[in-house]
Structure 1
């Protein structure tokens, strides 16, 4: 669409579903499931002045029907736009969708095998490779799409399983753990090789999520190694070992394998175009440009930051760069992300782990959500707000918010990081009241020594924390 803005004629080659993992079996579908599960969990609460005494009838099939309705709506808009833009116009600006699989046969040509089996040769002056990624399947795991599945197969379940083990405690695994635990029909276990889930995040963030998981009935096998998994009598049997070597055999109804993703590059014939790949089959790219100057890469094919919003930014940047617009470089340090867990986790910029790795002196302020008026009004005060700033200058480095509506806080901070703003800029911003972002403002004010809440009063109670590193 950005190339169409510039009056260019574009061919989009897609072998399966328009929108990819950003819509199907990924960003949109899983988030729809998450929202539906949260609605269900909220309706089950009995501490809000009402109670559904008759209980709820729950159907996995109907949940998935709602998910697919959301996906269909989104895909329908894409299809409509592609249909309207297919016709060539004077001055260019057409977008043609070709259904099939493409393979480079030279630096400027791809051979396309259409879905009807016919072959077509397509040549172009520039290429963007945006074929995304797929779930990684370790050797030895009996993934069959039925009893042992990846995120691609979740929607195919005939009903809620009674029990399910999730292999991997990263974002995707924890997200689906949240969804199924919210629906309260499936006993969830998570196998985590690390001492804690979400190992890329600060310990306080990970432990807040883990504590909530355990209160929801999720069992986390911490520091455990999966030794074996097999299907026995229509069930999934797995063997894990702890750091001392003690083994345990457990049987569940289903297993979800969620141990990362791998780029979709192996069948593209990139070697015929001279495009360099790394040892993990990711395209080696500098500012989206591959080793071949007219071939660009966007999204998961580079496996730098596997997020849908990053893929879109990279795609836009690549098109503007190839046609000479000299776009501003993408500021990866100001990127924001949401983890759809319970509680929700929103992030932008650096966390403490990253600041320490980069040897950046920092100050950190933490405000418990029990001190945020909107959380109190929502009757949901789990979690906290955590703000990092440069030790000397007060320049904003990063933010982590754990709790309901956490995502409402991050875009403003992303903009401030992009602009090189300081704690004083947050303080002087007029924040709405009552609103979740007020917790961010109180973090900044605490680090500036002028918060409404005082560390000497609430610090010993664990509601406020100031530190540095």
Structure 2
């Protein structure tokens, strides 16, 4: 019957739309509900458009330094920020249209509006989802609208939104979240960034390359707090050489707004304060799960630390209700959401599925230089009691890196001395976000140092730095 489904998924981001496709593959009658974006924040306001912006910045950087490659550009090199933003938005639209095509191809109903769960599925019948009309965006062609829908299984995949600090709430004009930072009407001459995680560092890198004076304020003593300390320190030196300024162990305590600028009061953690004036401030202090107005608490769904608690396969404490992706907790990454979605639906079908090993989920930051990692940092490995071997290899010893003009980078590997198990891999340098998957595959296959040492890496490639790092951990490095 119309309006009755085996699986209803609330949220069409990476977790939601992938779960919907997997659900359809398994023969479930499936619907996905969204109020604004097919593809979610990732495709529309996160992962994808930021990479388009950063690509423009990368090309601009090369254009500014043609002599490094034996080239000459006549005249002044400049950037058209309007055209840069337009290209970025076009990339997002193309991919969002692609998601719409995939929904149609897999015979998945798209329901457009704001959803709430009125009743959980029970042994006696399906759950109920009500959808209210949304004014946020035009619905895709063929989408269903407001109404009441029933589902035997209801999956919450509503993602997350930027965290706002009291007194420093974004106003879309002077204080930005990543939404506004992706579509500037003009290029600010100066920028203050609160937070040095992936979001903060990517925007700091983009705006600095495009010519803005950038200062980053980080509460903790280390920038990129989740990364290995050695990698973060290497990256910081590269960023500082580019002109980015950092204030670590510091926090913004007050912001005063002017007509076209902000003045921030910053405490250094040692009793001292200073003020910094910048045209714009980006708040990048984390995200919070979108759990509001879904009816979860009314149904007794357990919430922990602002996200939905699950068993690792998406199952909540209320039978028939599931949660995946950012709304189900960290790491808040699109690829984690996708795999959670697939495993959740497999479990619904009764197929064998195991929870994701979060220690084997890679993280990537697309600044210049790039940063990528998987597994334990050196400090975490020691905290957990491992006797470790650590290998390091600098890009300066790699022929491909030198030929590319990208000889500033480092690969670091961490092994269990007793077993040879690869515990962690951490990288900073050109294209490391494309290289990290090699170590992820190795960890999932439980590869030891012996297999990695005897693996033949192609020459000349940046991937050879990975091999040399393993060799270094065992006293066999060749090119340093």
Common fold: TM-score over 0.5: yes
- Measured in 2, the distance between the counterparts of 1:144 and 1:59 equals 25
Query: Within 5 Å, which residues of 2 pair with 1:24-423?
Result: 24-45=44-65, 46-85=67-106, 94-107=107-120, 108-115=127-134, 119-184=146-211, 186-278=212-304, 280-287=305-312, 288-423=314-449
Match of 2:475 among 437, 449, 453: 449
Distance 1:328 1:227 in 2: 44
SS of structure 1 residue aligned to 2:208: helix
1:116 deviates by 7.2
Moved more, 267-276 or 442-451: 442-451
Contact 2:415 2:423 in 1 (8 A): yes
What are structure 1's unaligned runs of at least 5 residues? Answer: 86-93, 459-469
CA shift for structure 1 position 215: 1.0
1:408 touches 1:437 (CA, 8 Å); kept in 2?
Answer: no
RMSD across aligned positions (CA): 1.6
Hey, what's the Cα distance between the residues in 1 that align with 2:260 and 2:229?
A: 38
Specify which structure has the bigger relative contact order, considering alpha-carbon pairs within 8 angstroms and separated by 6 or more residues.
Answer: 2
The corresponding residue for 1:8 is 28
The CA deviation string for residues 166-214 of structure 1, in whole angstroms up to 9 with x for no partner, is 0111111011001111112x11111112222112222211111111111
Cα offsets for 1:214-235 (capped at 9, x unmatched): 1111111222221201212331
The 10-residue stretch of structure 1 (124-133 or 147-156) with the greater mean CA deviation from structure 2: 147-156
Match of 2:16 in 1: none
Q: Would the alpha carbon gap of residues 156 and 449 (structure 1) be closer, same or farther in structure 2, given more than 3 Å must change? A: closer
Unaligned runs of 5+ in 2: 1-20, 121-126, 137-144
1:134 aligned counterpart, secondary structure: strand
Using the TM superposition, give the Cα deviation of residue 53 of structure 1 relative to its aligned residue in structure 2, in angstroms: 3.4
Q: Do the aligned partners of residues 179 and 442 (structure 1) sit closer, same or farther apart at CA in structure 2, a change above 3 Å counting?
A: same
The alignment covers a number of residue pairs equal to 444
Q: Which residue is equivalent to 1:463?
A: none
- Given that 2:44 and 2:96 are in contact with CA atoms closer than 8 Å, whether structure 1 keeps it comes out as no
Shift of 1:119: 4.5
**Segment drifting more, 173-182 vs 241-250:** 241-250
1:59–1:159 Cα contact (<8 Å) kept: no
Shift of 1:57: 2.5
1:68 and 1:390 map into 2 onto residues whose CA distance is 45
